[in-house]
Chains A and B, each alone.
Chain A
Amino acid sequence: MRPAFFFKEALRSIRRNPIPSFAAIASMLVTLLVLGVFIPMVQATTGAANTVRGRVLLDVYMQRDATSSDLERVRRRIADDTPHVKKVEFVSKAQAYREESKNNPEAYRLLGSNPLPDTFRVTPDDPDNIGGILDSLAPRNTQGHRQVVDQSIDIVRNKKNETDKILTVTKLVKWAMVILTSLLVIASILLVSNTIRLSLFARRREVEVMKLVGATDWFIRWPFMIEGVALGALGGLVAVLMLAVGKIALIDPLSKDFALIAAPRTMPFFALTALLLVASIAVSAAGSGLSLRRFLRV
């Protein structure tokens, strides 16, 4: 009897207040649409930024006359004794020659012999730590020149300009995304909570009367919360439908033609819509329940 009564009350309220109900649905719909477009965009952008950051490498060039025991010693030193190293890749002279002559066949044909040294390609665990690795493999001496830690190492080098650029730009992009996302989330919560607040404020007298007649807080709250959940879910559902249409009509054909759009990893569509729906329902339920509290103090 009672749950049925509460549902009926909620329905009656939606029917009798069509404009506030519409406003609640519309604000939820707009918010979710924006979030639904923005979240994959943020993910794609940070994904792209991370891919770029993954290219940050450190090359350790060996002396031309390094023996295999030298190689083994240096490898162990980099892999075991240097902090923040994620991966060490050995590129032998022959391998390097093959790679480079593929990039620039004519120049290497002219050379005749292989001028390239053995190389260790070091990947840091975090691109920001690349300076630390450089410092521990080739610390600066008192004059400010770099001095390698092992005789058989010729030079340690990262592609300085490139690395710095990559690090600055990707950091900027990431921070911009964090700030934009938080602003958007704050705006959405304010928008939705304000809509709820307004529609409740218009009905505060109703709540007051209910309390004076002897209704308990929850007796009043249930229909309001059911109403909030129904409106939130409705807005969320419409938003998800529109997002799905947009995805099928616009994104999917594009991603078939251009690998670029599909390249960055984004969250699967189903997970995204589920997240949006759950968020819309939770926010509207909590919003109407909490906003009501102020008016229940009669």
Chain B
Amino acid sequence: MAATETQRQPIALPGRESAGEADPNAVIQFRGVSKTYESGDVGLEDATFSISGGEFVFIVGQTGSGKSTIMRLLLKEHEATKGRIVVAGRELSEIEHKKVPYYRRNLGVVFQDFKLLPNRTVYDNVAYALQVTGRSRKEIRAKVPDILRLTGLATKLHNYPDQLSGGEQQRVSVARAFVNHPPLLLADEPTGNLDPETSIGIMQLLYRINRTGTTVLVATHDSHMVDRMRRRVIELERGRIVRDEADAMYGRREPSTAEFGALMRGEPAPEPQRLAKDPFDEVDEAWR
């Protein structure tokens, strides 16, 4: 656990990293990735970042800023128009259509709207993630109750999703995402439909999963959550990455003393940096 904490030090800033250089620890690497939808909307523009194994990263930004685009690209629901995406050493563009399901089994995914199968009980929903991979019934019977106990659903095994509260449904969804012990867990607005108290429970769950060594990537606009967790934050604005900081708050801030010192010493330290000049900065400051 401590190891994962210390891993989060060198953070590449967009544009700083030379294009060919690969981070051996990186679970996710985006290099100059752009996504333009067929409608002409720009989902993502020239995004470059990398996420190391065991990191817990927030992607923040307003609606339409490109958070979901990153998630969809990672899920290979969409193809990048430009640039390279490497996940766990594999180029996403090279995975052929038929192999996509096998690639997806290495990801756990949690969605804002839970995306549970309405016709299955809690147990069967979680079991389905194992059934698609062809696990034996014995293994499923051993694993599913375990993970459901871990997520606090031990008493709800045989309920259907519509008999559960939102928080419980999201727990099921997290359980399903994690039951395969994937190396990478993506959560797209996992707390978007939940009240603050329930949200904390879900984030705790994600945090616990992260502590087992799983890389967790959370897209959110829940500022309270981000501020409290103080993890790495990648901020997007209209498809561009405008901020990438370790231990960050949701809003922008001045560099911490330590970061300032590192900056002075010329180390490639995590630098709080505005990449785009925003005329509303002062307004934002006034609000703070």
Query: Pick the contact of B119 from A206, A214, A215, A216 — CB < 8 Å?
Result: A206
Q: Within 8 Å CB of A215, what residues of B?
A: 101, 128, 132
A-B contact count (CB 8 A): 53
Q: Within 8 Å CB of A209, what residues of B?
A: 115-117
The answer to whether the Cβ of B7 comes within 8 Å of any Cβ in the partner chain is no
Q: CB-nearest residue of chain B relative to A298?
A: B77
Query: Pick the contact of B133 from A2, A17, A214, A217 — CB < 8 Å?
Result: A214
- List B residues 112-143 near A (Cβ within 8 Å): 115-120, 128-129, 131-134, 136-137
B235 to chain A, nearest CB (A): 26
- List A residues 169-211 near B (Cβ within 8 Å): 205-206, 208-211
* Residues of A in contact, count (CB < 8 Å): 21
- Would A214 and B132 be within 8 Å (CB), given that A1-B137, A298-B77 are in contact? yes
B53 to chain A, nearest CB (A): 21
In contact, A213 and B118 (Cβ under 8 angstroms): no
- List B residues 130-158 near A (Cβ within 8 Å): 131-134, 136-137
In contact, A213 and B119 (Cβ under 8 angstroms): no
The answer to whether the Cβ of A212 comes within 8 Å of any Cβ in the partner chain is yes
Q: Within 8 Å CB of A298, what residues of B?
A: 77
B85-93, B102-110, B209-217: which one contacts chain A? B102-110
In contact, A12 and B109 (Cβ under 8 angstroms): no
The answer to whether the Cβ of A5 comes within 8 Å of any Cβ in the partner chain is yes
CA–CA, A286 and B138, complex, Å: 34
Query: Pick the contact of B104 from A205, A208, A212 — CB < 8 Å?
Result: A212
* Residues of B in contact, count (CB < 8 Å): 25
The answer to whether the Cβ of A13 comes within 8 Å of any Cβ in the partner chain is yes
Query: Pick the contact of B115 from A2, A17, A212 — CB < 8 Å?
Result: A212
Q: CB-nearest residue of chain A relative to B134?
A: A2
B100 to chain A, nearest CB (A): 8
B40 to chain A, nearest CB (A): 21
Contact with A along B53-88 (1 / 0, CB 8 A): 000000000000000000000010100000000000
- Would A13 and B119 be within 8 Å (CB), given that A1-B137, A215-B132 are in contact? yes
The answer to whether the Cβ of A145 comes within 8 Å of any Cβ in the partner chain is no
The answer to whether the Cβ of A109 comes within 8 Å of any Cβ in the partner chain is no
Q: Within 8 Å CB of A2, what residues of B?
A: 134
Q: Within 8 Å CB of B75, what residues of A?
A: 212
Q: Within 8 Å CB of A208, what residues of B?
A: 115
- Would A219 and B132 be within 8 Å (CB), given that A213-B104, A213-B176, A214-B102 are in contact? yes
Q: Within 8 Å CB of B117, what residues of A?
A: 206, 209-210
Q: Which of B102, B109, B115, B116 has the most CB of A within 10 A?
A: B115
B187 to chain A, nearest CB (A): 13
The answer to whether the Cβ of A16 comes within 8 Å of any Cβ in the partner chain is yes
A297 to chain B, nearest CB (A): 9
CA–CA, A17 and B119, complex, Å: 9
CA–CA, A210 and B105, complex, Å: 11
Q: CB-nearest residue of chain B relative to A9?
A: B131
B103 to chain A, nearest CB (A): 8
Q: CB-nearest residue of chain B relative to A5?
A: B131
Q: CB-nearest residue of chain A relative to B119?
A: A16
Q: Within 8 Å CB of A13, what residues of B?
A: 119
In contact, B136 and A1 (Cβ under 8 angstroms): yes
- List A residues 262-298 near B (Cβ within 8 Å): 298
In contact, B105 and A214 (Cβ under 8 angstroms): yes
A218 to chain B, nearest CB (A): 10
CA–CA, A298 and B111, complex, Å: 15
CA–CA, A212 and B105, complex, Å: 9
Q: CB-nearest residue of chain A relative to B131?
A: A5
Q: Which of B129, B131, B133, B136 has the most CB of A within 10 A?
A: B131
CA–CA, A214 and B119, complex, Å: 18
Q: CB-nearest residue of chain B relative to A4?
A: B137
Can you report 22 residue pairs joining A to B where beta carbons are below 8 Å apart? A5-B131, A12-B119, A13-B119, A16-B119, A17-B119, A209-B115, A209-B116, A211-B101, A211-B104, A212-B109, A212-B115, A213-B132, A213-B176, A214-B102, A214-B104, A214-B129, A215-B101, A215-B128, A216-B101, A216-B102, A216-B132, A219-B132
Q: Other CB < 8 Å A-B pairs besides A2-B134, A213-B129, A214-B102, 5 of them? A: A16-B119, A210-B128, A214-B129, A216-B101, A217-B101
Q: What 3 pairs between A and B have smallest CB-CB spacing?
A: A214-B105, A214-B104, A215-B132
